[in-house]
Structure 1
Amino acid sequence: MEITEVVDIAGEASHAASLNRRVAVTVALLATFMGVCKVKDDNIVQGMQQAQADKIDHWSYYQARNVREEVAAATATQLKLAALARPAAEQGAYADAVKKYEALAADQKVKKEQVRAQAEQDQKAYDASNYRDDQFDLSDALLAIAISLLAITTLTGQRWLYWVAMAPTAIGVFFGVAGLAGLPFHPSWIMGLLS
């Protein structure tokens, strides 16, 4: 073996070791970043689940209030009609009962609208959280692709593949930071394709 061959082999081994170190550091940094994003994303998902449960509860309360309102209104109507067939001496008792049920119907209508507003606010909270959850989901997917490309880089020793892996890395980190910081960058068109 000639000296130039030994130098070439040593140089290639040095380049491969350098590339492997670079890949290892990059993967370690990406895994750490993904871990931080995962904690935040899990907290957001818990908030989304709570908002969804609250919305369901509030719409159920809305329906209950609606039924109560309808029953009270129907009862008031029935009492009004029944009063027509009763003697004048009994009309006062019917009028009092009608007022009571009309007041109950009006009260339920107000409470029903309050609950409806709460349910709509729950939906807005869910949508706002989902916006950020999408950012973390895209970040996670892109960083997983980048780590896969980095693994192939180590296996093949192709330096150019490392730089190809930096494209999904940069975009993935961008969306992860956007999710962490609450920045208004949403991958609507990509999420539309994936949903």
Structure 2
Amino acid sequence: MSGHGFHVHGPHDHAVEHAAHSSDKFSGNIAVTTAILATIGAMFGYQGGATQNDAALFKNNAAIAKTEAANRWNYYQAKSNKQNLAELAMTLPNVDPEKYKADVARYKSEKEGIKKEAEEWEAKSAEWDKKSDAALHQHHQWALATTAEQIAISLAAITLLTSRRWLQGATYVVAAGGIALGLFAWLHVDPIGTLLAKFGGAAAGH
């Protein structure tokens, strides 16, 4: 504590402080381990934040594309109304149908182009939505990996305080699990989702 306030120490800080006052090789190894895990956790946390931002950006792009598609469909409907009115006028008595035939052909041609644009914008919107969902899922994977590393660091701190060898093993196991989750996120691999889909499909088959 200082005269300017207080500082809350994290598990890694306690590990380093403990190792600094101890010549025990066991304590030194744990301190180095926590430093490495803190670095890995920080990297995972950064990737998690980046993918979350990507997901939000992609979702915004999907909304913009959806709005553009809606605008095109509204324009398409307006052309359809004009075409319908022209076709109706052709059936009225004492009206020359040829006068409106060109208008009907023009509206029909314009509608085709507008429809194509609307469908293209809808496809873009669906594509951005898909990218957003993928980025958000990857964010969750990075978040799980980060959480695992934080738990491993906490276990390392408890290991230093208790000198329990089995806790050291637990620390390494949890840390390895977090690193594996980080690798899965980096490689865009979802083993859990794959297993669930596989067992879900097998269950549906029965």
Same fold (TM > 0.5): yes
Matched, 1:188 2:193: yes
Match of 2:172 in 1: 166
Query: CA contact under 8 A between 1:178 and 1:185: conserved in structure 2?
Result: yes
Shift of 1:156: 2.1
Q: Describe how 1:31-180 pairs up with structure 2 within 5 A.
A: 31-85=38-92, 87-89=94-96, 91-180=97-186
Query: CA contact under 8 A between 1:135 and 1:186: conserved in structure 2?
Result: no
Shift of 1:66: 1.3
In the superposition, relative to structure 1, how do residues 183 and 60 fare at CA in structure 2: closer, same or farther (>3 Å)?
A: closer
The root-mean-square deviation of aligned C-alpha atoms, in Å, is 2.5
For residues 27 and 69 of structure 2, the distance between their equivalents in structure 1, rounded to whole angstroms, comes to: 61
Structure possessing the higher radius of gyration over alpha carbons: 1
Unpaired runs of 5+ residues, structure 2, are 1-21, 195-206
For residues 87 and 106 of structure 1, the distance between their equivalents in structure 2, rounded to whole angstroms, comes to: 31
Q: Describe how 1:5-16 pairs up with structure 2 within 5 A.
A: none
Query: CA contact under 8 A between 1:62 and 1:116: conserved in structure 2?
Result: yes
Higher helix share: 1
In the superposition, relative to structure 1, how do residues 159 and 92 fare at CA in structure 2: closer, same or farther (>3 Å)?
A: same
Shift of 1:127: 2.8
Matched, 1:26 2:54: no
Shift of 1:183: 4.7
Partner letter of residue 119 of structure 2? E
In the superposition, relative to structure 1, how do residues 36 and 30 fare at CA in structure 2: closer, same or farther (>3 Å)?
A: same
For residues 186 and 123 of structure 1, the distance between their equivalents in structure 2, rounded to whole angstroms, comes to: 22
Report the 3-state secondary structure (helix = DSSP H, G, I; strand = E; otherwise coil) of the residue aligned with 1:33: helix
